[in-house]
Amino acid sequence: MDQPARSHMDDEHLQVARLTRGLASHLLERATITARHHGLGVTEVRAMEQLYLTGPMTAGELGTSLALTSGSVTALVGRLLKNKLVVRTRDEDDRRKVWITIAPDKADEFIAPYLDTIKGGSRVVKGFSKEDRQTAVRFLEAYYQASAIGTEDLRKTMR
């Protein structure tokens, strides 16, 4: 029996949607396990993951990347600072801007549970040709942009 939502997606799109959804679920599960291990909340771990992947971010950038309100990201950064997981640094060129970075002494401790996953991911990536990897990156960037546009449209219509 065909579900109404599926009638708008061809089989390949459904497969991509299932795989990206599955990947997102695995990443959230990993964040949950890591949060429990460190006695943190999942949002704190997701923030640490984002900072690890992206590097220094402003509070606004971090909040946007985690889909948090400004009040929520302010509280989040406060908790991260209280737990000494991050440091704040003023921008040298624009003193109004403050960068949030993983505390240098916490980076290795935080990343340790992810090392096996990183190694496995690296093996997968290296198993593809440079051209295939470039195609995959272009595809994921385009798929991400389409999703971001859809989210923004939804935000506007569902206020």
Q: What is the DSSP string of 13-35?
A: HHHHHHHHHHHHHHHHHHHHHHH
For residue 37, is it within any domain? yes
pTM: 0.84
Radius of gyration of the CA atoms of the chain, in A: 18
Q: Is the pLDDT of residue 2 over 60?
A: no
pLDDT band at 102 (very low <50, low <70, confident <90, very high): very high
At residue 59, the pLDDT reads 96
For residue 41, is it within any domain? yes
For 15-59, the pLDDT digits (tens) are 999 999 999 999 999 999 999 998 999 999 999 999 999 999 999
For residue 3, is it within any domain? no
Quote the number of domains for the chain: 1
For residue 116, is it within any domain? yes
Hey, what are 62's tokens? 């971090």
Question: Position 152: which residue type?
Answer: E
CB 102 within 8 A of CB 48: yes
For residue 152, is it within any domain? no
